[in-house]
Amino acid sequence: MGYKHSENNYSPFSKKVSSSIIFVAVYVDDVIITGTDSVEIANLKSFLDGQFKIKDLGKLHYFLGLEVLYKPDGVIISQMKFTLDLLKEYDYFAYISLSSSLDPAMKLKADEGTLLPDPTYYIKLVGKLNFLTNTRLDIAYSV
């Protein structure tokens, strides 16, 4: 079909046809298709449906923990739902919000504190917080 993957990452694909361009982002079984040529997009969807029986969810609203909100002057990408689900899952609604003023000179020590009764609980939480820090650089330092 003429799509080329990125040289740096095998997930995004693109295809240029004269003055139009189509972008495809794939993560496991989640796919985003966008571009400037609606006929080419329809052809791609038809091809993929013939190969895999896809479900077209229409305009993008949610993808891999990211919410997409459309405004007249642009698009807002948010992780509010992911963050609220995370707070609910780990029962953090009972805690008050504080500003995080972590001292950059503070030295953390591995032998302080008590061992957790279930380390998998902590490992899952850290994984989800890492996801947030990789997609929200404004909170990366404090997390």
Q: Are residues 132 and 84 in the same domain?
A: yes
User: Quick one: pLDDT at residue 137?
Assistant: 59
Where is 17: in which H helix or E strand?
A: strand 12-17
Does residue 64 form part of some domain?
Answer: no
Range of the domain at 32: 4-57
Mean pLDDT of the chain: 86
- Report the 10 Å Cβ neighbour count for 81: 12
Residue 68 covered by a domain: no
- The values of phi and psi at residue 130, to 5°, are -60, -40
Q: Are residues 101 and 46 in the same domain?
A: no
Residues 133, 105, single domain; the answer is: yes
pLDDT band for 106, please (50, 70, 90 cuts). Answer: confident
User: Does residue 69 lie in a domain region?
Assistant: no
Strand locations in the chain (E): 4-5, 12-17, 20-27, 30-35, 62-63, 66-71, 74-78
pLDDT at 46 over 80: yes
Task: Note whether 88 and 134 are same-domain residues.
Answer: yes
Structural domain count of the chain: 2
Does one domain contain both 46 and 88? no
Residues 80 and 35 in one domain: no
Is the residue at 66 inside a domain?
A: no
Residues 36 and 92 in one domain: no
Mean pLDDT, rounded, for 113-126: 86
32 & 78 share domain: no
- Per-residue confidence band for 47, with pLDDT thresholds at 50, 70 and 90: very high
Determine, yes or no, domain membership for 65.
no
Average of per-residue pLDDT across 107-133: 85
Please say if the pLDDT value at position 89 is more than 70: yes
Angle at 75 between CA 71 and CA 77, to 5 degrees: 125
Co-location of 87 and 123 in the same domain: yes
Higher pLDDT, 51 or 110: 51
